[in-house]
Chains A and B, each alone.
Chain A
């Protein structure tokens, strides 16, 4: 008996020692993310999942957006802007190499922007860079961009995932084998399972703390919860608020609640009757009880919005009172619009919990004013094709996660089909305005127009609710741009 106990004790001590050794200097991190990217080239796709994996990790742009949304130097050490605001001259960092060993210089920058602006460009946001008229290589470390008009947020736009610098040698293969200049190099992508990145030794910037990072794709909340509890993954940047309570009082984890750029909207097909009727859209806006949607969908973690604009943005104006929750007013407006008995429509829901749950709540709220919704659950590929590309939908629910994406409403070909020349002119003026006070006034006016026109049902701003191992530091609490930046993440004891 005694012997057995001793042996047991020894084994225990041994295993503790072994575990201690293994735990001594962890430099790997395994991150659970809900969605697998369709490809890994951020300059050729709109999916946020791409940026989550590669933005600022594998790829870098001339500028870099930090976790407060401010512009920092990236591959460009410094820049000068001409007095007329039309010529940007960038001084590039010396000694930067791509992960395949090729050297980074001004030719790569020129190639990148030529590719974005080219006739066969597949960039998701060509419009941000379309004012660029010429790209001139002055010397290998100096490049000059000329614009045909002033753009207030040009330096920010250069820091987006859409404008990361790629090399002519590797650009064509970036979808499956991304090669950039960032602190992490791509190692492998086990489709359906994970992407593995490894610290890139010759990285030009400040060395990172991690040696290896894996993105593990786990779409299901229960599985993710178990993976976190079992220690199979070390954290996730955005965890379902439904099960957040499991981790809130657990000292082994920390919960980071921050802001995102995700305006969740009831996307409305403005080109399709009856939604082309302003009264119908106003009625729908009156029928939405935002607080109930927020409580039911995000357990209170969202912020109500009255226009497609992030509440933490300095230009934000609270327009949630434009069409307050008022079923009576909704019914009256429907009657005025010629639908006294309401109407039927379909609501296509992508496979994200916020959409599926808020869809049910909205269906119930709309039913109360006579609008009967048929809920159709679709997968991502189908959503991108049917709703986003082919505009074959009545209503949908989606979070627009790009920073300052109010400009989408100035694009009449955008999937919700809002065509308002007055608004388009306003956005053009806004883009060309550099003065902060004027920009704010214009942004407020733009939000007000969109709120009054009830283009879409404006629901709430998603919160970012990360769950991480308590020993990890350096994660971004807020998400001012799409991405999950590994740069500052480190293990502490």
Chain B
């Protein structure tokens, strides 16, 4: 813990991320106003004691919307990262442990997914099953799979030739157990760092998809959807664009700083003298 805290960027990034996450979590149980509550007479209000961030074009409280939108963003990004890790890491480890045809198939699959622009695939998915936050999760999640597969395979390859892995094989461990016991623990730090970066990319992707109308649908809200709603009145009420825009920027910066800090803190190559690392 002390070691973690000695990286100031990590602390700043984590604190800022947790702050936004807390805001998002809070929106599940409490927002200053219900987000679906439209109140036309009080629209376009400037920030005040009653409405900390003002109100939008339908008279909804901006603070409440930002809180709920932040939660949507985190949720979509986190589940998408989970999909990427859950599918991608086993694929990558399998490629490293088995090699040969398995590796070839995994690599070609990741190439194939990489070759698709994420937005095109998202449009494809939403055309097939209709727009919605779930589809955004699936679309972003699918594009996380090759990222994690590559990272896991790359990390595992550099481990797989080490003596203790060979020793494991001599002791009779199969590929599955090698991957599970020896490769996975050693690529875990890489995965965590990559996961943080993918979180920030996922939040950006969700905002992008919602902005073009393929992600979260009203009356739910997300930061990208708020941007979309605000753009028509941008010249008259720029504040409405500024709030969700800044929120996205801050969250993404926070996650990136945290990711950088995490890498510095737990990358095994930057660490010495910890016997557990190669366990």
Question: Given A246-B235, A353-B232, A364-B38, A296–B218 Cβ distance below 8 Å?
Answer: no
On chain B, the residues within 8 Å of A296 by CB distance are: 38, 40, 43, 57-59
Q: Is the CB of B231 within 8 A of A222?
A: yes
- Would you give the 0/1 interface string for B16-43, flagging 1 where the beta carbon is closer than 8 Å to chain A? 0000000000000000000011101101
Given contacts A240-B232, A292-B41, 11 further A-B contacts (CB under 8 A): A242-B232, A243-B233, A245-B236, A292-B38, A295-B41, A296-B59, A359-B218, A360-B58, A361-B58, A364-B37, A367-B36
Least Cβ–Cβ distance between A266 and chain B, in angstroms: 16
A375 within 8 A of B: yes
- Would you give the 0/1 interface string for A369-385, flagging 1 where the beta carbon is closer than 8 Å to chain B? 00000011100000000
User: CB within 8 Å of B: which of A239-263?
Assistant: 240, 242-243, 245-246
On chain B, the residues within 8 Å of A360 by CB distance are: 38, 58, 218-219
- Which of A246, A293, A359 is B236 in contact with, Cβ under 8 Å? A246
Q: Is the CB of A375 within 8 A of B218?
A: yes
B8 within 8 A of A: no
On chain A, the residues within 8 Å of B233 by CB distance are: 242-243
A72 within 8 A of B: no
Q: How large is the interface on B (under 10, 10 to 19, 20 to 34, 35 or more residues)?
A: 20 to 34
A424 within 8 A of B: no
Q: A-side binding surface: helix, strand, loop or mixed?
A: helix
B99 within 8 A of A: no
Q: Is the CB of A221 within 8 A of B219?
A: no
A433 within 8 A of B: no
- Centre residue among B43, B131, B217, B231 by max chain A CB count within 10 A: B231
Q: Is the CB of A377 within 8 A of B213?
A: yes
B47 within 8 A of A: no
- Would you give the 0/1 interface string for B73-97, flagging 1 where the beta carbon is closer than 8 Å to chain A? 0000000000000000000000000
Q: Is the CB of B219 within 8 A of A364?
A: yes
Nearest-neighbor residue (CB-CB) of B37 within chain A: A364
Binding site for B on A (CB under 8 A): 221-222, 225, 240, 242-243, 245-246, 291-293, 295-296, 353, 357, 359-361, 363-365, 367, 375-377
Q: Is the CB of A222 within 8 A of B234?
A: yes
Question: Given A363-B219, A364-B219, A295–B213 Cβ distance below 8 Å?
Answer: no
- Which of A225, A293, A359 is B235 in contact with, Cβ under 8 Å? A225
User: CB within 8 Å of A: which of B209-235?
Assistant: 213, 217-219, 231-235
Q: Is the CB of B58 within 8 A of A375?
A: no
Report how far A296 CA is from B39 CA in the complex, Å.
9
- Would you give the 0/1 interface string for B120-154, flagging 1 where the beta carbon is closer than 8 Å to chain A? 00000000001100000000000000000000000
A-B contact pairs, 8 of them (CB 8 A): A243-B232, A291-B40, A293-B40, A296-B59, A357-B57, A375-B219, A376-B130, A377-B131
On chain B, the residues within 8 Å of A295 by CB distance are: 40-41, 43
Question: Given A360-B58, A377-B213, A243–B131 Cβ distance below 8 Å?
Answer: no
On chain B, the residues within 8 Å of A292 by CB distance are: 38, 40-41
Report how far A365 CA is from B57 CA in the complex, Å.
16
- Centre residue among A221, A295, A296 by max chain B CB count within 10 A: A296
Report how far A91 CA is from B37 CA in the complex, Å.
61
Instruction: Please name the 8 residue pairs, one residue from A and one from B, whose CB atoms are nearest each other, closest first.
Output: A364-B38, A292-B40, A221-B232, A296-B40, A242-B232, A246-B235, A295-B40, A222-B231
Q: Is the CB of A361 within 8 A of B40?
A: yes
- Would you give the 0/1 interface string for B32-76, flagging 1 where the beta carbon is closer than 8 Å to chain A? 000011101101000000000000011100000000000000000
Nearest-neighbor residue (CB-CB) of A375 within chain B: B218
Least Cβ–Cβ distance between B72 and chain A, in angstroms: 16
On chain A, the residues within 8 Å of B213 by CB distance are: 377
On chain B, the residues within 8 Å of A293 by CB distance are: 40
Q: Is the CB of B57 within 8 A of A242?
A: yes
Report how far A27 CA is from B36 CA in the complex, Å.
50
Least Cβ–Cβ distance between B134 and chain A, in angstroms: 14
Question: Given A361-B58, A364-B36, A377–B217 Cβ distance below 8 Å?
Answer: yes
Report how far A367 CA is from B37 CA in the complex, Å.
9
On chain B, the residues within 8 Å of A225 by CB distance are: 235
On chain A, the residues within 8 Å of B130 by CB distance are: 376
- Which of A243, A291, A357, A376 is B58 in contact with, Cβ under 8 Å? A357
On chain B, the residues within 8 Å of A246 by CB distance are: 235-236
Report how far A361 CA is from B232 CA in the complex, Å.
17
Q: Is the CB of A243 within 8 A of B36?
A: no
- Centre residue among B38, B57, B131, B231 by max chain A CB count within 10 A: B38
Report how far A360 CA is from B236 CA in the complex, Å.
22
On chain B, the residues within 8 Å of A367 by CB distance are: 36
On chain A, the residues within 8 Å of B59 by CB distance are: 296
Question: Given A222-B232, A246-B235, A361–B218 Cβ distance below 8 Å?
Answer: no
On chain B, the residues within 8 Å of A375 by CB distance are: 217-219
Q: Is the CB of B38 within 8 A of A361?
A: yes
Report how far A225 CA is from B232 CA in the complex, Å.
9
On chain B, the residues within 8 Å of A245 by CB distance are: 236
On chain A, the residues within 8 Å of B234 by CB distance are: 222
Least Cβ–Cβ distance between B224 and chain A, in angstroms: 15
Nearest-neighbor residue (CB-CB) of B213 within chain A: A377
On chain B, the residues within 8 Å of A240 by CB distance are: 232
Report how far A353 CA is from B57 CA in the complex, Å.
13
On chain A, the residues within 8 Å of B131 by CB distance are: 377
Report how far A242 CA is from B232 CA in the complex, Å.
7
Nearest-neighbor residue (CB-CB) of A246 within chain B: B235
Least Cβ–Cβ distance between A460 and chain B, in angstroms: 13
Report how far A246 CA is from B236 CA in the complex, Å.
7
Least Cβ–Cβ distance between A4 and chain B, in angstroms: 37
Report how far A237 CA is from B131 CA in the complex, Å.
31
- Centre residue among B37, B58, B59, B232 by max chain A CB count within 10 A: B232
Report how far A203 CA is from B48 CA in the complex, Å.
62
Report how far A365 CA is from B58 CA in the complex, Å.
12
Least Cβ–Cβ distance between B173 and chain A, in angstroms: 53
Report how far A352 CA is from B212 CA in the complex, Å.
14
Nearest-neighbor residue (CB-CB) of B233 within chain A: A242
Report how far A253 CA is from B245 CA in the complex, Å.
31
Report how far A240 CA is from B40 CA in the complex, Å.
18
Nearest-neighbor residue (CB-CB) of B236 within chain A: A245
Report how far A410 CA is from B235 CA in the complex, Å.
45
Report how far A363 CA is from B40 CA in the complex, Å.
13
Least Cβ–Cβ distance between A239 and chain B, in angstroms: 11
On chain A, the residues within 8 Å of B232 by CB distance are: 221-222, 240, 242-243, 353
Least Cβ–Cβ distance between B277 and chain A, in angstroms: 51
Nearest-neighbor residue (CB-CB) of A351 within chain B: B213
Report how far A296 CA is from B57 CA in the complex, Å.
7
Report how far A273 CA is from B247 CA in the complex, Å.
44
Report how far A365 CA is from B219 CA in the complex, Å.
12
